[in-house]
Amino acid sequence: MTVTLDSDTRFHAACAAGVEWGPTVKACLDRLGPVAGCNLGFLYLTDGLAEHATSIVTLLRGVTGIRHWVGTAGIGVMANGAALFDEPGLAIMAARLPEDSFRLFPTLTDGLEPLRGSAGGWLDKHGAALALVHVDPHHADMAGLVSRLSEEAGVFLVGGLTASRGEFPQIAAGAEDGDPVTDGGVSGVLFAPNLPVATALTQGCRPIGPTRTVTASDDNVILEIDGRPALDVFKEDIGPELAADLRQVSGLICAGLPIAGSDTQDYLVRDLIAIDPRAGWISIAERVTTGQPVMFTRRDRETAAADMRRMLDSLKKRVKATPKGAVYVSCIARGPSLFGAANAELSMIRETFGDIPLTGFFASGEVSHNRLYGYTGVLTLFL
């Protein structure tokens, strides 16, 4: 998606690690530098500090004078070229944006009424091209809520699912007069069409074998593909070396579910859950239906790096000016477990776009357009 900020627009980003939230916030603010005139803050906490989210937001609002804050918790957070993964810490980005170019909305759990109540008038006046959203993974209908928000508000979504072993804070301070930190749904910030942005997604996988058809299924179990036992087709597509020892496919091979109507040949990547060598079926982490297209994908460091660079090169061709700021959301299964270093993706972004202010987090699922993804990276540039 592609939609120059005025010369007065600016971004600052920084991160800091620490087990004590007060000193960690101070250290981060010291690195952030002056924020006078900034009117929107992005706050990402690693889950080690998630329980202190309300206190941290309250302190930040008081010290910086920035009333509006959005964010959530992740297993890791990032700022500029640094990433903190699986250690207590936080990342902050402060932005000075044109007045009326953004509007926060509170946590949505059952429908869009809170959005209409807090931002309905603003939407009627300005409309929205993009929304940065944070999703509580405990919500029973995450995918449905994300889809309805995109379609009913007419907005392209980017963001991710909170990743935490403790609390799941949804930060939308300034959306209304209530608690600035909640949980249980989807919250975020809407950006007006006059705020130019560019966003893109990297899958981190490559298809192996052709796109096939599920010809028999039961919930998330694929019984037959192209009229043959699913496992026979699976072994054929992954090749004889992996087929000889199926224990090798865990974490390496996934199912790809092509998205109907996509003009970019997009697909959802889902884990393999179980394989039954006797019955010949495979089970994946998504409900499938008979007649649905399916393919298999390979995921490794080289493939993910190549697709990341492909995405960045494509985005670079669409972006004529140096970005003024960025938000990057990466899957927790990427980061150091895939690339070997927590900041590997940030290094690739900086190689392409230079030393731009950036913040983001490692999520338990990613949001792009109107759906949830896994194993992906979603980059959003403010131009």
The predicted structure's pLDDT at residue 185: 93
> What pLDDT score was predicted for residue 203?
87
pLDDT at res. 119: 87
Record the pTM: 0.89
Please give the full DSSP string across 58-111, using - where no structure is assigned. HHHHHHH----EEEEEESEEEETTEEEESSSEEEEEEEE--TTSEEEEEEESSS
Collapse the DSSP code of 239 into the 3-class scheme (helix H, G, I; strand E, B; otherwise coil) and give the result. coil
Q: What is the pLDDT of residue 179?
A: 82
Give the H or E element holding residue 382: strand 377-382
196 or 118: whose pLDDT is higher?
A: 196
Distance in angstroms (rounded) separating the CA atoms of residues 186 and 177: 18
Contact between 100 and 40 (Cβ < 8 Å): no
- C-alpha to C-alpha distance for 153 and 311, rounded to whole angstroms: 27
Binned at pLDDT 50, 70 and 90, residue 1 comes out as: very low
pLDDT tens, residue by residue, 279-298: 999 999 999 999 999 999 99
Average pLDDT over residues 356-375: 95
Span 198-221, average pLDDT: 93
Residue 54 has pLDDT above 80, yes or no: yes
Q: How far apart are CA 337 and CA 354, in angstroms?
A: 25
Query: Is the CA virtual torsion 312, 314, 319, 322 positive or negative?
Result: positive
Q: What is the pLDDT of residue 263?
A: 56
The per-residue pLDDT for 321 is: 87
C-beta neighbour count of 357 within 10 angstroms:
20
Both tokens assigned to 151: 């379609």
Give the residue, 3 or 175, on which the prediction is more confident. Answer: 175
- Per-residue pLDDT of 308-362, as tens digits, reads 999 999 999 999 889 999 999 999 999 999 999 999 999 999 999 999 999 999 9
Write the single-letter amino acid at 299. R
- pLDDT recorded at residue 352: 97
Domain boundaries, the chain: 10-202+305-382, 206-298
Q: Is the CB of residue 114 less than 8 Å from the CB of residue 107? A: yes
DSSP line for 304-355:
HHHHHHHHHHHHHHH--S--SEEEEEEETTSHHHHHSSTTHHHHHHHHHH-S
The string of pLDDT tens digits covering residues 145-203 is 999 999 989 999 999 999 999 999 999 988 776 789 999 999 999 999 999 999 999 98
Q: Which residue reads 């170019």 in tokens?
A: 101
User: In angstroms, rounded to a whole number, what is the distance separating the alpha carbons of residues 35 and 45?
Assistant: 20
Residue ranges in 127-191 assigned as alpha helix (H):
142-153
Burial class (CB in 10 A: 0-12, 13-18, 19+), 220: middle
Report residue 110's pLDDT band, with 50, 70 and 90 as the boundaries: confident
Arithmetic mean of pLDDT, 103-125:
89
CA distance linking residue 81 with residue 15, whole number of Å: 10
Report the mean per-residue pLDDT for the chain.
92
Query: Strand, helix or coil at 266?
Result: coil
Instruction: Flag whether pLDDT at 92 surpasses 80.
Output: yes
pLDDT band at 269 (very low <50, low <70, confident <90, very high): confident
pLDDT beyond 50 at 5: no
95 vs 69: CA distance, rounded Å: 10
pLDDT at residue 261 in the model: 67
Evaluated on CA atoms 332, 334, 339, 343, the torsion sign reads negative
Mean pLDDT, residues 112-139 taken together: 91
As a residue count, the chain comes to 383
